[in-house]
Structure 1
């Protein structure tokens, strides 16, 4: 039997998992959201969604978690039972399971998000009734879940930039671009332009800094005061 074309195989995997998305969400009820991502189109990676915890919709963009998977490429591993917060402060427990074809190439992910805030409130209530003080948990990191890739890139830039662009020295600027690159930001189409706009620099400067950040030996752009 002839081997199936890789793209056809990936399409078949996505099609097979689509009813699974709805089955999992139906099993766990309104506190659960299941999202199927196809990373072959990062800006519109959501191909199926059931439930509403993070507000994802079909055709929406990946989050920074997806960008992190992209950055790791075929070395990416499943991330299970981690806590995060949405931009509105909602506590979410999530699992991200990468999708691979038969050759081991990572091309998507199946994500399960559970409204952990509801469970936490129930736990606090039961603890109060039992007279048992609740141990405070360390704060969960904030994750931007957005259907617009521009908003996700903007949030990542703000997360990794701890001061204004003008206040950064050469090393700090290169470190910023290196960190964004390591988190998969530049795997997204138009990401360089989006980052440049967010930083208030020219697109040419952004490409130059990205190139230098990726190079073994860095050399600051001559005469660049963007």
Structure 2
């Protein structure tokens, strides 16, 4: 039975590799069709820290071997319940306006294992739209899209998520009460941060708490409890 299970797993891995291999040459064709404002990125979520297996175009500065963005983390966190996210607007850290679509990849069992992402730089279009609106006296009623961190280093992506949370709360970690600390860990977990290797250690270091305390907060956040942590190292001590 164990051998059969191993064989099935190996068959699934070969199938996933074949899907990625078949999609790889499609990337150049898409970019050739839409021009230099287009970027297409192929992700293998079996290795989230180095999920980029192919890339064509240069909109977000991705490179083969680079990490997924927080959008990819969100898909990873949803697992097989993940759905395509199509035609959404975001901004890069440098301010470029990007129209994007993230399409999940599934094997024959329905298991999500990757994604095909299309990013189109529409900065110039947005500027023209704003100019025409101003000339017409329509004002600027557009909703500002969120900033997405696209980095080839997974640590920079996790750091950006933590920074964004702190900016929204306008409070340092030490000023948060226990419910808000648990809320932070629950939010990070829902966004797929802890699916990344060493993310717990990285979050603990950023927050100035011990690794044991971080695991305690994560466990309690997943359990939906607000019981006090038994580890006394969460008062700012480092592991």
Short-chain TM bin: over 0.9
Given candidates 73, 93, 100, the residue that maps to 1:67 is: 73
Assess if the C-alpha contact under 8 Å between 1:99 and 1:109 holds in 2.
yes
1:206 aligns with 2:210: no
Q: In proportion to residue count, which structure has more helix?
A: 2
Assess if the C-alpha contact under 8 Å between 2:37 and 2:120 holds in 1.
yes
Q: Secondary structure at the match of 1:138?
A: coil
| CA deviations over 1:82-122 (Å, ceiling 9, x no partner) | 00011111111000000000110000000000001022234
Count of residues paired in the alignment: 223
1:76 aligns with 2:86: no
- RMSD value, Cα: 1.8
Displacement of 1:123 in angstroms is 3.6
Residue in 2 that maps onto 1:132: 136
1:57 aligns with 2:63: yes
1:196 aligns with 2:196: no
Distance change >3 Å, CA 217–CA 121, structure 1 → 2: closer
Which sections of structure 2, spanning at least 5 residues, go unmatched?
Answer: 1-6
1:28 aligns with 2:34: yes
Task: Provide TM-score, normalisation by structure 1.
Answer: 0.93
Task: Provide TM-score, normalisation by structure 2.
Answer: 0.88
Q: Secondary structure at the match of 2:103?
A: strand
| CA deviations over 1:111-143 (Å, ceiling 9, x no partner) | 000001022234445x279x5345521100011
Assess if the C-alpha contact under 8 Å between 1:42 and 1:61 holds in 2.
yes
1:96 aligns with 2:102: yes
